Amino acid sequence: MTDFARTRALFHIPEGVIYLDGNSLGPLPIAAAERVSNMLTAEWGELLIRGWNTAGWFVQPRKLGDRIGRLIGAEQGSVMVGDTLSIKVYQALASALDLNPGRRIVLSDSGNFPSDLYMAQGLIASLGRGHELKIVAPEAVEDAIDGSVAAILLTEVDYRTGRLHDMKRLTAKAHAAGALAIWDLAHSAGALEVDVAGANADFAVGCTYKYLNAGPGAPAFIYVAPRHAATARPALSGWMGHAAPFAFDLDYRAGSGIERMRVGTPPVIAMAALDAALDAWEGVSLADVRQQSIRLADLFVELVEAGCPDLALASPRDGSVRGSQVSFRHPQGYAIMQALITRGVIGDFRAPDAIRFGFTPLYIGEAEVRGAARILAEIIGGRLWDEPRFRQKALVT
């Protein structure tokens, strides 16, 4: 059984804060501050350019990829770290369309994170070959998979509601129809028992700043199924993905396997934080994390529904088809979330009307859930959100 008291001690949670927004930005792993400091002073400061070899900066993207790979059921050597999630979506989709040249439909859903859709739109415009991004409702995806679909591009967990797609079933359906499957694991990696190899996914992508706690703007990752690794064409063909980066050839030759998904110079400082953050997963069972997350979220739903009849549950009630987050709708959702934050309960708001709470057992337990539900009930019951200051929109919501 995972020792969540031990994992909780690995994170810094500010005094007086109940942090239910790890689904947007995980908290600081205490070890990350020292690891990054060491990277700056002992590695960059003392080794200078020699750090690429002697401190292993050059091979770090793949090493970190393998560490993440163990959390998502990936084969060794099939995950690469770098860039941002949007960039990795572009690489995955470009590769998939290239591997399925006879088809023109990219199938996604309205619950996908918008940046995935935007990157697809940008790629399709660049390709100029008549591809079409077809966006259906999440529940209509399965029926929309047919012989016209080149690739499905889906986020496993809906960022708004936590609704969960069945990765294995939809991937099987896609394959049966001759389509490839690309999965965005932004809200899955570190939250669910993901098994990309078992689900037979073709590509997967994800970020590391949510449940993997690597810090704001931490690098992303891409998984390429080994069966595609030698043939996938990295549309973003940078020198680090070249077969011989330091030969300085004038022509691109893709590196072997997953190496070709590297693009430019890797973000060494950010990788130090990610490496430290991944240490928190040693000895942690994702089955335990998942079970505890469902338990905490179920408790929260129960307490909120009892205490706040004005709020409408926007997430699946059944924890088994819900990710690690719960959302409620209210016309004054934005102001309510601002009032909550003022009281130290940090979740977030997603337009137009959803307040969202994440349940991350590594550092959140039953006491926080009960505390958050109590404060939410006080705010709703007393209309404490009804102050002008709570309606002032910030840049980032």
Token pair, residue 102, equals 């006879």
User: Letter for the amino acid at 183?
Assistant: W
User: Letter for the amino acid at 388?
Assistant: P
Contact 255, 75 (CB under 8 A): no
Does 184 participate in catalysis according to the annotation? yes
Min CB(50)–a copy of itself separation in Å: 7
d(CA 226, CA 289): 28
Does 343 participate in catalysis according to the annotation? no
Nearest to 173 by CA among 161, 182, 181: 181
d(CA 170, CA 158): 15
Contact 393, 59 (CB under 8 A): no
Min CB(104)–a copy of itself separation in Å: 14
d(CA 170, CA 107): 12
CA angle 291, 341, 317 (to 5 degrees): 35
Return the SS3 of 354. Answer: strand
d(CA 379, CA 279): 38
d(CA 182, CA 387): 44
Taking the least distance from each CB to a copy of itself, the nearer of 116 and 156 is: 116
Taking the least distance from each CB to a copy of itself, the nearer of 278 and 294 is: 278
**Active site residue: 173, 210, 260, 262, which one?**
210
Nearest to 180 by CA among 101, 235, 120: 101
d(CA 365, CA 86): 32
Token pair, residue 144, equals 């929309």
**Active site residue: 19, 209, 328, 359, which one?**
209
Min CB(45)–a copy of itself separation in Å: 4
**Active site residue: 19, 90, 113, 363, which one?**
113
Min CB(379)–a copy of itself separation in Å: 18
Taking the least distance from each CB to a copy of itself, the nearer of 128 and 388 is: 128
d(CA 205, CA 223): 6
Taking the least distance from each CB to a copy of itself, the nearer of 122 and 371 is: 122
Does 90 participate in catalysis according to the annotation? no
Min CB(118)–a copy of itself separation in Å: 4
Does 318 participate in catalysis according to the annotation? no
Nearest to 29 by CA among 268, 283, 214, 206: 214
Q: What element of type H or E holds 353?
A: none
Contact 29, 284 (CB under 8 A): no
Min CB(324)–a copy of itself separation in Å: 16
Taking the least distance from each CB to a copy of itself, the nearer of 2 and 360 is: 360
**Active site residue: 35, 160, 322, 356, which one?**
356
Min CB(193)–a copy of itself separation in Å: 25
Does 158 participate in catalysis according to the annotation? no
List the strands of the sheet with 325-329, edge to edge.
Answer: 312-313, 325-329, 354-358, 348-350
Taking the least distance from each CB to a copy of itself, the nearer of 132 and 249 is: 249
Taking the least distance from each CB to a copy of itself, the nearer of 170 and 218 is: 218
Active site residues: 113, 184, 209-210, 356
